[in-house]
Amino acid sequence: MPRYTAPTQDVQFLLHEVLKIADRDIPGYSELDSEFTSAVLEEAGKIASQVLQPLNSVGDQGGCKYENGVVTTPTGFKDAFEQMKDGGWPGLDMPEEFGGQNMPYLMGTAVGEFFSAANQAFTMYQGLTHGAASAILAHGTDAQKATYLPNMVSCAWTGTMNLTEPHCGTDLGLMRTKAEPQEDGSYKITGQKIFISAGDHDLADNVIHLVLAKIPGGPEGIKGVSLFIVPKIMVDEDGALGTRNAVSVGKIEEKMGIHGNSTCVMNYDGATGYLLGQQHKGMRAMFTMMNEARLGVAMQGLAQAEAAYQNAVDYAKDRLQGRDVTGVKNPDGPADPLIVHPDIRRNLMAQKSFTEGARAFMLWGALLIDQSHRSNDAEAEGLISLLTPILKGFLTDKGYDMTVQAQQIYGGHGYIEEWGMSQFTRDARITMIYEGANGVQALDLVGRKLAQDGGKHVMGFFELVKSFCNEAGEISEGFKTQFIDPLKAASKDLQAAGMYFMQNGMKNPNHALAGSYDFMHLFGHVCLGLMWADIAKASQKALDSGTGDAAFYETKLATARYYMSRELPATALHLARIQSGADPVMALDPDAF
Amino acid sequence: MPRYTAPTQDVQFLLHEVLKIADRDIPGYSELDSEFTSAVLEEAGKIASQVLQPLNSVGDQGGCKYENGVVTTPTGFKDAFEQMKDGGWPGLDMPEEFGGQNMPYLMGTAVGEFFSAANQAFTMYQGLTHGAASAILAHGTDAQKATYLPNMVSCAWTGTMNLTEPHCGTDLGLMRTKAEPQEDGSYKITGQKIFISAGDHDLADNVIHLVLAKIPGGPEGIKGVSLFIVPKIMVDEDGALGTRNAVSVGKIEEKMGIHGNSTCVMNYDGATGYLLGQQHKGMRAMFTMMNEARLGVAMQGLAQAEAAYQNAVDYAKDRLQGRDVTGVKNPDGPADPLIVHPDIRRNLMAQKSFTEGARAFMLWGALLIDQSHRSNDAEAEGLISLLTPILKGFLTDKGYDMTVQAQQIYGGHGYIEEWGMSQFTRDARITMIYEGANGVQALDLVGRKLAQDGGKHVMGFFELVKSFCNEAGEISEGFKTQFIDPLKAASKDLQAAGMYFMQNGMKNPNHALAGSYDFMHLFGHVCLGLMWADIAKASQKALDSGTGDAAFYETKLATARYYMSRELPATALHLARIQSGADPVMALDPDAF
């Protein structure tokens, strides 16, 4: 059976030595001293490894059941959910006035990785609730906030997002679910929504659905979509639960993975709903959830890679097979452990350099969210808006790849469900799809975010890389050669790709769009290169000062060297693909496929 | 539900216009005129799409059952197996004297792709039988051949390969299963074997296990391993079935995929076995099966990619979502089909260029097998020995990636089992693992095959590429720029990688081994580049002569252009990774992971 240990030391290093959160003038950050964050992380790590992780394969094998109109979650989920609630984890970064602990989003992200790594399917129940609560917090009336938030922040009630319909996912303008206004100001919601994660279950007393629907007579397409609060059980004016609303589960889906989460078809048969935000501005309100959800999914990609990696390392150290060609390492045993073999090392280094670099990228992204929300920093807001599709697309594509690599270390045992490695890949696979398939992330990046505000944010990113390189390049000639020069070269590839889009996308937008996926990956590599250079800088500084755990910092430097020499050169390939333009991609008639 | 249509036109094109089999002086090839191969392919295609494909998801969902000592295959498998036997498909390329049709291996490979694409789990029952029969054919005594082959060629009895034990897979020297000589010349086999595909089932009257075991007192390690024939049910001297042998199923494994194939733990409790080939030369005999099995697995990688691709194309043409940014393509519909979008095209072109290039590579490999076996051509034997790990490793890694890409086209529907796209990835995943995990293929390539016979075969490959480029470069300047120059550049990268190994691998073999996986992929790309250039040459020739289906040839040229500009540049990345050497990969202590 797999195990999971929360990487608390790495998070502490990133928070305090790389991101240097104590130096940041962000409201709420002054409380985040090293002792405090360590206590929070250790406690979260315990819950993750002791409560959530043991239920991961239970959830996978047992799955959710739908019988007689009732959805039940796997054995043990309800108890574990109670423990999460008792610990106040769901409301960690929610406002105190609604029962939360008001910590920064950064801390929610840090512990969220642990929970997701230990049990993705389980953690989605509270993750979706968090997203729905955030949307109500941002767009709800005071009465709506008072009615729903206290119970959602505590997870006494959970939440969902209802976007997809059988015939439309990405193209929500095609939506058919309708919302008919009633005399009392409410709406009657009628339609079918599919792929509703945590759509119904036995973990909470109520489920608050956020549902996109069209009010008849509104604008065509996506501009006529509004967002509604539709409780599973009606809530009286005094906040007490009343009668059942006209929303029901059609079925739960059989999926490749995340079996512990109930993915429902939801039928709305004239269900009572309440407008959230403005009429026909539903997409704007939904994007509060979507952006948060995209970062949450990026985190899941990283989290599954980390969990799979830990178990791959265990197996590589434990399994005796073959001998080190440079000399026997385990003379008393019948063979050497797998980890002596260079190709096993290549595989493990790919995983290690990804998860640690991705964690830095993820926490930096969370910090930008805090800067944006807590400090009203428009620059940070623009930057995280640019980086969100990269975080989502790159971290989930790579995260999935890493689970596949980890599974490969196990050979045949990786393919047998008993060992648990298959679950990591099956669970991770959904992260490339939900909250906007990764092709849609690439489209968002190249079609919208690059040019946003006149290209200001991408220029800001290049400035940031440049000033980092200038400063860190001064550390030493060796440091510059090993870490800064590769980052500069990668950043240059990214700029050349952007230039190609500018020069050719005007003539034919397909020249940009055919390169969008490669651009997302190119950008992702530059971000991870920046992270590794920054990690190397912090590590070098610590070593130079002679403080702390030297082996830890030396390991960071070696891993950074690996990333620079083995992963970052991928930028040149992505650039070459982008610069080949649309013609090779678009040459064929649809009939020729 | 997915569908499958055998790509008969493509195979015909490859056989007759690219490989030009009529011009080959290989015994048995003279019968392979276009009309004949077309008839065989069409018939095989019908069985694949009408009989095997409808059972693919049945097998996945129902799986095999093990109850009261009896293994049952999924509903419908037994009837389908009878139809395969009635059609004589299992013995297509087996000798006539044992009931086969004596066609070349090339034809077995061509139709094998169709069967595997339609139903991999099902086709493995006969595939493993084929491998076991080949080993008996190559190493058995006349009596053994007479006893077993007629029933195995017809698949009245099936076969298995028994290598892996719980504590050893790759490192078979650690094997514990023992074979004690008996007075009558037989052996008593005792031990446990795991991951035995088609280990037991209800499709045939007997199962002939080929089992690796150690004769006590023999040499240590891999040099003391012998191969034995161990029938499930004893075979009397007159060929009739007798009593049950002391071999039994311990359990069947729960796997990520290929649920329709029974993967068994096999317990040998003093089972009667008969030496196949020489004492202590078991690995040599087993490699007859292994090499064939590796080519068979390469074909499975291609086959799953093809099946997934066909369904991805269907969905991309059918699903309406969003609008073409360069102008509406489906004005009467609510949206345009997915296939108008450049990023969907990128994905489909990656799949199409892989499957068609891989098919050419696969059939070329099969032709080399025929040249080697039927014409005793040592050069061909050396070349296919070199190319086997590349076929296995590259085609299954890429084949798996392509199933993931195909699944991605479906968005959320790709993650739901109902649509069948998940099965393609789950089934394809095993191909990267069994018959030698792909890291072991890379090790075989770099550690053994490159230097085999003084590097003669790899030099032969470079000569072959060079003379092809010289000849095809004469077609026209445009042809040279589009197809030959990229191939030359890729081949140069491959040579530089080989040079790096030569110059650095002597000092430290890890400099070669740390680059082995990248080398396998680099080599794979050069092979596919060569295939696409050759396909382009044949297509250009057909277009110039004005015969045949011009649209077909134009599509081939466009797909070749795609491969050259978007996929082949990966060679430079692999070279850069290889040239970074072992240091970044091997820097860490095992404890630092």
> What does the DSSP assignment read for A405-455?
HHHHHTGGGGTBGGGSHHHHHHHHHGGGTSSS-HHHHHHHIIIIITTHHHH
- Residue B460 shares a structural domain with residue B382: yes
Contact B322 A170 (CB under 8 A): yes
Q: Which of A417, A442, A467 corresponds to the end of one domain?
A: A442
Q: What percent of the residues of chain A are helix, what percent strand, and what percent coil, each to the nearest 5? A: 65, 15, 25
- HSE, side-chain direction, 13 A CA sphere, residue B228: 28
Interchain contact, B342 vs A514, CB within 8 Å? yes
**Are A416 and A306 part of one and the same domain?**
yes
Same-domain pairing of A465 and A391 = no
pLDDT at A286: 83
Q: How many CB pairs under 8 A join A and B?
A: 264
CA B80 vs. chain centroid, Å, equals 22
User: Domains in chain B: how many in total?
Assistant: 3
> Among partner residues B348, B584, B586, which is closest to A593 by beta-carbon distance?
B348
Radius of gyration of chain A (CA): 24
**Chain B contact set for A411 (CB, 8 A):** 169-170, 433, 437
Indicate the burial class of A29 (C-beta count within 10 angstroms; 0-12, 13-18, 19 or more).
Answer: buried
pLDDT on residue A291: 84
| pLDDT at residue A239, rounded to an integer | 80
In 3D space, the residue among A47, A67, A66, A43 whose CA is nearest the CA of residue A55 turns out to be A47
CB contact under 8 A, A342 and B551: no
Both tokens of B87, joined, read: 């059609």
Q: Of B309, B324, B349, B415, which to mutate for an interface test with A (greatest number of A Cβ within 10 Å)?
A: B415
- Both A452 and A343 in one domain: the answer is no
Q: CA-nearest residue of chain B to A165?
A: B412
**Long-range interactions of A214-219: CB distance < 8 A, separation 24+:** A214/A175, A214/A176, A214/A177, A214/A178, A214/A179, A215/A178, A215/A179, A215/A180, A215/A181, A215/A187, A215/A279, A215/A280, A216/A178, A216/A180, A218/A279, A218/A280, A219/A280
Contact A561 B570 (CB under 8 A): no
Domain co-membership, A454 together with A431? no
Q: Do B415 and A438 touch (CB under 8 A)?
A: no
Residues of A in contact with B254 (CB under 8 A): 416-418
* ipTM of predicted complex: 0.97
Which residue in A has a C-alpha nearest to residue B569's C-alpha?
A: A573
B509 part of a folded domain: yes
What is the number of alpha carbons within 13 Å of residue A498 lying toward its C-beta?
A: 18
CATH number, position B107: 1.10.540.10
- Flag if B559 and A514 touch (Cβ within 8 Å): no
Burial B574-585 (b: 16+ CB within 10 A, else e): bbbbbbbbbebb
Rg (CA), chain B: 24
Cα–Cα distance between A301 and A337 in angstroms, integer?
Answer: 28
Q: Is the distance from CB of A482 to CB of B310 less than 8 angstroms?
A: no
Per-residue pLDDT of chain A (593 residues; tens, 9 = 90+): 899 999 999 999 999 999 999 999 999 999 999 999 999 999 999 999 999 999 999 999 999 999 999 999 999 999 999 999 999 999 999 999 999 999 999 999 999 999 999 999 999 999 999 999 999 999 999 999 999 999 999 999 999 999 999 999 889 889 999 999 999 999 999 999 999 999 999 999 999 999 999 999 999 999 999 999 999 999 987 789 999 999 999 999 999 999 999 999 999 999 999 999 999 999 888 887 788 899 999 999 999 999 999 999 999 999 999 999 999 999 999 999 999 999 999 999 999 999 999 999 999 999 999 999 999 999 999 999 999 999 999 999 999 999 999 999 999 999 999 999 999 999 999 999 999 999 999 999 999 999 999 999 999 999 999 999 999 999 999 999 999 999 999 999 999 999 999 999 989 999 999 999 999 999 999 999 999 999 999 999 999 999 889 999 999 999 999 999 999 999 999 999 999 999 999 999 999 99
Catalytic one of B67, B435, B474, B477: B435
Nearest Cβ partner of A346 from B432, B434, B585?
A: B585
Do B132 and B188 belong together in one domain? no
Q: Which residues contact A93 (CB under 8 A, 6 or more apart)?
A: A100, A101, A102, A103, A104, A105, A107, A108
- What pLDDT shows up at residue A253? 97
Judge: B422–A164 Cβ closer than 8 Å, yes or no: no
Alpha-carbon distance of A294 to A163, in angstroms, equals 14
> CB burial class (10 A; 0-12, 13-18, 19+) of residue B238?
exposed
Residue B587 lies in a domain: no
* Closest Cβ–Cβ partner in B418, B510, B587 for A254: B418
Question: Judging by beta carbons within 10 Å of its beta carbon (0-12, 13-18, 19+), is residue B28 exposed, middle or buried?
Answer: middle
| B591 falls within a domain | no
Domain annotation covers residue B252: yes
Write out chain A residues lying below 8 Å of B425, CB-based: 256, 429
Question: Is the pLDDT reported for residue B238 higher than 80?
Answer: no
The vertex-B516 CA angle with B120 and A409, nearest 5°, equals 55
CA pair distance B435, A412, nearest whole angstrom:
10
Of A255, A407, A508, which is closest to B417 when you measure between CB atoms?
Answer: A255
Residue B148 lies inside a defined structural domain of this protein? no
Specify if B504 maps to a domain: yes
Chain centroid to CA A218: 34
Task: Give the integer Cα–Cα distance in Å for A583 and B345.
Answer: 11
Q: Note whether B328 and B444 are same-domain residues.
A: yes
Average pLDDT over residues B208-229: 96
d(CA A513, CA A443): 7
DSSP codes joined into one string, B520-583: HHHHHHHHHHHHHHHHHHHHHHHHHHT-S-HHHHHHHHHHHHHIIIIITTHHHHHHHHHHT-SH
| Whether residue A454 is found in the same domain as residue A430 | no
Interface mutation vs chain B, best among A549, A566, A578, A589, most B CBs within 10 Å: A566
A506: which residues sit within 8 A by CB, 6+ positions away? none
Whether B69 contacts B91, CB under 8 Å: no
A467 and A391 fall within a common domain: no
Distance from CA of B27 to the nearest CA of A (A): 36
Closest residue by Cα to residue B229 from B205, B207, B208: B208
Both B39 and B180 in one domain: the answer is no
- In b/e form, how buried is each residue of A431-446, taking b as 16+ CB within 10 angstroms? bbbbbbbbbbbbbbbb
Which has the closest alpha carbon to B106: B472, B359, B364?
Answer: B364
Active-site annotation holds for A435: yes
- Return the pLDDT at B97: 97
Q: Under 8 Å CB-to-CB from A553, ≥6 apart: which residues?
A: A539, A540, A542, A543
Cα separation values, A123 from A299, A517, B136, Å? 12, 29, 54
DSSP, res B253: -
Q: How far apart are CA A141 and CA A156, in angstroms?
A: 21
| pLDDT for residue B286 is more than 90 | no
When CB atoms are compared, the residue of A173, A320, A586 closest to B345 is: A586
For residues A113 and A306, is the Cβ–Cβ distance under 8 A?
Answer: yes
CB contact under 8 A, B322 and A254: no
Integer Cα distance of A269 and A271 in angstroms: 5
Task: Output the DSSP codes for B83-118.
Answer: HHHHTTGGGTTS-GGGT-----HHHHHHHHHHHHHH
- Provide the shortest C-alpha distance from residue B372 to chain A (in Å): 31
Tell which residue, A187, A266, A200, has the closest CA to residue A229.
Answer: A187
Inter-chain CB proximity A169 and B411 less than 8 Å: yes
* C-alpha pair distances (Å), A487 with each of A432, A458, A469, A569: 26, 16, 8, 10
Closest-CA residue of A relative to B221 is: A334
Residue burial B116-125, b: 16+ Cβ < 10 Å; e: rest? bbbbbbbbbb
Task: Tell me if A585 and B569 make a contact (CB, 8 A cut-off).
Answer: no
Closest approach of chain A CAs to the CA of B239, in angstroms?
36
**pLDDT surpassing 80 at residue B288:** no
Task: State how far residue A592 is from chain B, nearest Cα, in angstroms.
Answer: 7
- Burial of residue B240, with CB atoms counted within 10 A of its CB: 0-12 exposed, 13-18 middle, 19 or more buried: exposed
Residue A52: Cβ within 10 Å count: 26
Cα-based distances in Å from A385 to A435, A444, A448, B239, B560: 15, 10, 10, 75, 38
Q: Across the interface, do B587 and A253 touch by the CB < 8 Å criterion?
A: no
pLDDT, residue A1, reads 86
Q: Which residues of B touch A564 (CB under 8 A)?
A: 584
Q: Of A423, A442, A461, at which residue does a domain stop?
A: A442
The encoded tokens of residue B246 equal 């002391």
Give the nearest partner residue to A513 out of B342, B352, B517, using CB atoms: B342
A30 assigned to some structural domain: no
* pLDDT tens digit sequence for B400-436: 999 999 999 999 999 999 999 999 999 999 999 999 9
Q: Report the distance separating Cα B188 and Cα B486, nearest Å.
A: 58
Nearest CA in chain B to A564: B584
Q: How far is A207 from chain B (nearest CA, A)?
A: 22
With an 8 Å Cβ cutoff, are B561 and A572 in contact? no
Looking at every residue in chain B, the average pLDDT score rounds to: 97
- Active-site residue, selected from the candidate residues A35, A435, A471, A477: A435
Per DSSP (E only), the strands in B203-313 are 206-214, 225-231, 233-235, 241-244, 247-252, 263-276
Contact indicator for B73, B260 with CB cutoff of 8 Å: yes
Residues of chain A in contact with residue B437, where contact means CB-CB under 8 angstroms, are: 408, 411
Helix (H) or strand (E) holding A244: strand A241-244
Question: Are B343 and A551 a contacting pair at CB < 8 A?
Answer: no
Q: How far is CA A149 from CA A98, A134, A136, A567, in A?
A: 6, 9, 8, 44
Residue A342 to residue B582, Cβ atoms within 8 A: yes
Distance of residue A33 Cα from the nearest chain B Cα, in angstroms:
27
Q: Give residue A323's domain range.
A: 285-355+377-442
Out of A322, A587, A592, whose CB is closest to B170? Answer: A322
Per DSSP, the residues of A130-182 read HHHHHHHHHH--HHHHHHHHHHHHTTSEEEEEE--BTTBSS-GGG---EEEE-
Rounded to whole angstroms, the Cα distance separating B159 from B199 reads: 8
B530 plus B555 within the same structural domain: yes
Amino acid at B382: G
Of A169, A335, A580, the CB nearest to B412: A169
Question: What distance in Å separates the CA atoms of residue A418 and residue A60, rounded to the nearest whole number?
Answer: 11
CA distance A170 to B76: 38
Q: Tell me the pLDDT tens digit for each residue of B325-361.
A: 999 999 999 999 999 999 999 999 999 999 999 999 9
Report the alpha-carbon distance of residue B460 to residue B380 in Å, rounded.
10
CA angle at residue A10 from A36 to A522, to 5 degrees? 125
Are B135 and B211 within one domain? no
Given A387, A412, A442, the domain boundary residue is: A442
pLDDT at B237: 75
- A507-526 burial, b if ≥16 CB within 10 A, otherwise e? ebbbbbbbbbbbbbbbbbbb
The answer to whether position A318 is within a domain reads: yes
Query: Residues of A with CB below 8 A from B173's CB?
Result: 335
Measured in Å, how far apart are chain A's first and last C-alpha atoms?
44
Contact criterion met (CB below 8 Å) for B201 and B236: no
Give the CATH number, domain containing residue B400.
1.20.140.10
